Amino acid sequence: MTGLGDYFISNFDNEMQNAKKNKGQDRRDQDLYAGLIRLHILHHASKRPVFGLWFIEELGRHGYKLSPGTLYPLLHGLERKGYLRSISQRSGKSLRRMYQATPQGRKALVVARQKVSELFGELLEED
């Protein structure tokens, strides 16, 4: 039996697979980018506190269409793992949950940048 976190990750990956084609990208390949999306979220959350709708719009600018039902469990998962923390902030009459990278998340991002740089350097090498 899989855990609830596995369900949400699987749901995220399924939504990525079903994303609309953007600039010729094959939607079957979207699941390859799921880890990059998580790193992108951590990257922005390490710069300043950000909220869910902002992430949806930011990822949309890069061609990824995520619903709140997919993004928020992803954010909560990153929070449960200690990479993000959230606080509630009042915005007018409503409360907005703001996400920011934790020290653990910042350290993980530094390591991830090194690993991604090495891997992508190899991917982008001329044959």
Q: How many residues does the chain have?
A: 127
When pLDDT is averaged across residues 84-104 and rounded to a whole number, the result is: 93
pLDDT score of 45 more than 90: yes
| CA–CA distance, 44 with 100 (Å, rounded to integer) | 8
Tell me the pLDDT tens digit for each residue of 61-87. 988 888 898 888 889 999 999 999 999
| CA–CA distance, 113 with 96 (Å, rounded to integer) | 29
| CA–CA distance, 11 with 97 (Å, rounded to integer) | 22
pLDDT score of 95 more than 70: yes
pLDDT at 120: 85
Confidence of residue 113 (pLDDT cuts 50, 70, 90): very high
| Bigger pLDDT: 108 vs 21 | 108
pLDDT at 5: 45
- 8 Å CB contact between 51 and 97: yes
Confidence of residue 9 (pLDDT cuts 50, 70, 90): very low
Q: At what angle do helices 68-80 and 4-17 cross, to 10 degrees?
A: 140
| CA–CA distance, 55 with 38 (Å, rounded to integer) | 11
When pLDDT is averaged across residues 54-61 and rounded to a whole number, the result is: 92
The amino acid occupying position 53 is L
pLDDT score of 31 more than 60: yes
When pLDDT is averaged across residues 19-42 and rounded to a whole number, the result is: 67
Domains present along the chain, CATH in parentheses: 4-123 (1.10.10.10)
